[in-house]
Amino acid sequence: MMNGVLIMTKNNTLVATDVTQLSVALEQITKTHNDVSSINTPKAYIKKKMDMDYVEIGYMKSLADRYYPGWSWEIIKTEFAGTEAYVVHGRLTFLDCGVLRRCDMTAAHRVQKKRSDGGYVDLGNDVKAANTDCMKKAFNMYMNIADDVYRNQVEDTELSEEQIRELIFMAAAVSEEKAGEINALVEEGTIHGLNYKGSLAKLRRQAEKLGNVKKEKK
C-alpha cells in the first residue's frame, strides 16, 4: 500500500494504515454504491429481448466512468461450451473510493448457427456479445449500475417520523385501541417502508367508514 491507498488483496483482505482510514473508506464505499444503485435508468437506454429488459453497454460504461473513473476490463479466458455457446471469463478492475478491487465474472452467449448446413452465422458477433454480456454483469454485480433494471435495488424499509405520525393519526381516527396496535406494529417492524402506503390506505378506509375522516377526492 502506497500513499494511504487502500488495497483489496488477492484473498479479499482490505489493507489500511489505520482503523480510522478504514472506517471512513467503508462508509464512503457504502454511500457511493447506494447512490449508484438508486439511479433510475433512462428509458432510452433500456431495451427488451425475449420479454427481458436489458441496458445498453454504452450507458453502463458512462456511469462507470463517472463514479469509478480509471476502471479497466480484462479477458482472462474464453472457450466454447460444447457447440452451442461461447463463454467469457473477464475481470473488472477499479478503484472503489480508494480501494483497489479486482472482480471476476463469467457469461455465456448462445452461438447462432445456419439451419442449412449448421455453420456459424456470425461467430465474431457471438464472441463480442459474450464479452459484452460479461462486462454488463460485472458492472451491475460489483458497481450496482442499473440495479433498477436488473431488479437488484434494495429499498429503504425505515419509516420517517412523518410517516409514523400519519399512521398513528389515522389509526387514532379509527380508535384509541387501533392507535396502540399500529404503534406496536411499527416498533416491531411489521409495518415498514415497503407496506406503509397499503397500511395507511387500509386505516383511512376504516376511518372513512366510521365517518371520522373525510373521503379523499379521486
Asked if residue 89 belongs to a domain, the reply is yes
Q: Which domain holds residue 193?
A: 161-210
Report yes or no on 148 lying in a domain. no
Is pLDDT at 9 greater than 60 in this prediction?
no
The closest of 167, 175, 174 to 208, measured between CA atoms, is 174
- The pTM assigned to this predicted structure is 0.65
Q: What would the pLDDT profile of 97-148 be if each residue is shown by its tens digit? A: 888 899 999 999 888 777 767 666 667 778 888 999 999 999 999 999 999 9
Which residues contact residue 62 at a Cβ distance below 8 angstroms, ignoring those fewer than 6 apart? none
Number of structural domains (the chain) is 2
154 falls within a domain:
no
pLDDT bracket for residue 3 (50, 70, 90)? very low
Q: Residue 114 maps to which CATH number?
A: 3.30.390
pLDDT digits (tens, 9 = 90+) for 72-81: 999 999 888 7
